[in-house]
């Protein structure tokens, strides 16, 4: 996604060269190609605008996903570069787990996965007893689709500091287990998480997906219905996104036979 604007600009830069080479070969072909490209670009832009508008009106996850992306971009762009640069400079003088962890933490806030990939493993290598380092390494592995390894790191973070990241460690451990194919392990982990920390729109959605994969449709419907409930307070962008996803799943799977009580506790 980050490379899409660059790709578009690069295409614009290459176009005059391509048209010039076409012109050398056949001037008529160059003009016809240019006119065709103009027509198709206009059609594509209009179609994309119409589809986006339709999607925003009819498909809730699109609007919610856009809100989440805007929120993440705003946080990434407004995070303090001075602190990150200072942390990187300090690392040059002396390496230790805390300094790698600081860089990894700031990189995670900015969603700079390249920097996170460099420093999170180093923080864990220096000191494996830091729950935050394990947690950030788990996030990096999750982004990299190494689900089993991610589950191990989240489980380690939870062992070292129960309730780490406000229960997020436990929830993401369950999620990583599900994504790695261990559905039964994931279900047990989700139930354990719910007992310890309660539920949220995100946890209910993840739990619903695992239940659906295990073939337990009625509990899955209940979970999605719980996740889809509109609360009184305004949701964060992330919770709103999972609520939107749950609404679509509820629509597909149907409503549970019993009425849900609430979205989050």
Cα–chain center distance at 36 = 38
Question: Per CB under 8 A, which of residues 5..24 are in contact with another protein?
Answer: 6, 9-10, 12-17, 19-20, 22-23
Q: Cβ-count burial of 48 within 10 angstroms (0-12 exposed, 13-18 middle, 19+ buried)? A: exposed
Smallest distance, another protein to C-beta of residue 101, A: 19
Does the footprint of another protein cover residue 84 (CB under 8 A)?
A: yes
Does the footprint of another protein cover residue 44 (CB under 8 A)?
A: no
CB 22 within 8 A of CB 29: yes
Is the CB of 15 or the CB of 125 nearer to another protein? 15
Q: Which of 40, 44, 46, 81 binds another protein (CB under 8 A)?
A: 81
Rounded CA-CA distance 135/173 in Å is 10
CB 142 within 8 A of CB 172: yes
Cα–chain center distance at 98 = 26
Span near another protein by CB under 8 A; candidates 26-34, 145-153, 184-192, 228-236: 26-34
Span near another protein by CB under 8 A; candidates 44-52, 72-80, 156-164, 226-234: 72-80
In the chain the first and final C-alpha atoms are separated, in Å, by 34
Does the footprint of another protein cover residue 261 (CB under 8 A)?
A: no
Does the footprint of another protein cover residue 4 (CB under 8 A)?
A: no
Tokens of 139: 């996030």
Dihedral (CA of 48, 52, 54, 59) sign: positive
Smallest distance, another protein to C-beta of residue 186, A: 35
Does the footprint of another protein cover residue 80 (CB under 8 A)?
A: yes
Does the footprint of another protein cover residue 70 (CB under 8 A)?
A: no
Helix crossing, 201-213 with 217-228: angle to 10°?
160
Question: Per CB under 8 A, which of residues 101..130 are in contact with another protein?
Answer: 112, 114
Query: What residues make contact with another protein under the rule CB under 8 A?
Result: 2-3, 6, 9-10, 12-17, 19-20, 22-23, 26-28, 30-32, 34-35, 74, 77-82, 84-85, 112, 114
């Amino acid at each position: 996604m980050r490379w899409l604007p660059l790709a578009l600009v690069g295409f614009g830069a290459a176009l005059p060269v391509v048209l010039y080479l076409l012109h050398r070969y056949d001037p008529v072909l160059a003009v016809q190609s240019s006119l065709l490209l103009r027509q198709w670009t206009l059609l594509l832009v209009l179609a994309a605008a119409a589809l986006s508008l339709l999607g925003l009106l009819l498909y809730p996850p699109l609007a919610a996903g856009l809100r989440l992306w805007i929120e993440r971009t705003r946080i990434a762009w407004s995070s303090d570069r001075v602190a990150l640069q200072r942390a990187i400079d300090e690392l040059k003088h002396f390496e230790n787990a805390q300094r790698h962890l600081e860089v990894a933490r700031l990189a995670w806030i900015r969603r700079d996965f390249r920097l996170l990939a460099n420093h999170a493993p180093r923080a864990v290598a220096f000191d494996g007893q830091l729950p935050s380092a394990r947690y950030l390494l788990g996030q990096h592995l999750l982004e990299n689709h190494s689900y089993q390894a991610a589950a191990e790191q989240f489980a380690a973070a939870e062992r070292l500091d129960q309730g780490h990241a406000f229960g997020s460690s436990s929830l993401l451990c369950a999620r990583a287990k599900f994504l790695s194919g261990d559905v039964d392990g994931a279900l047990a982990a989700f139930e354990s998480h719910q007992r310890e920390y309660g539920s949220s729109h995100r946890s209910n959605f993840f739990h619903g997906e695992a239940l659906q994969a295990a073939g337990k449709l009625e509990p899955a419907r209940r979970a999605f219905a719980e996740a889809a409930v509109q609360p009184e307070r305004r949701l964060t962008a992330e919770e709103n996104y999972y609520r939107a996803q749950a609404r679509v799943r509820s629509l597909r799977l149907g409503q549970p036979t019993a009425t849900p009580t609430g979205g989050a506790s």
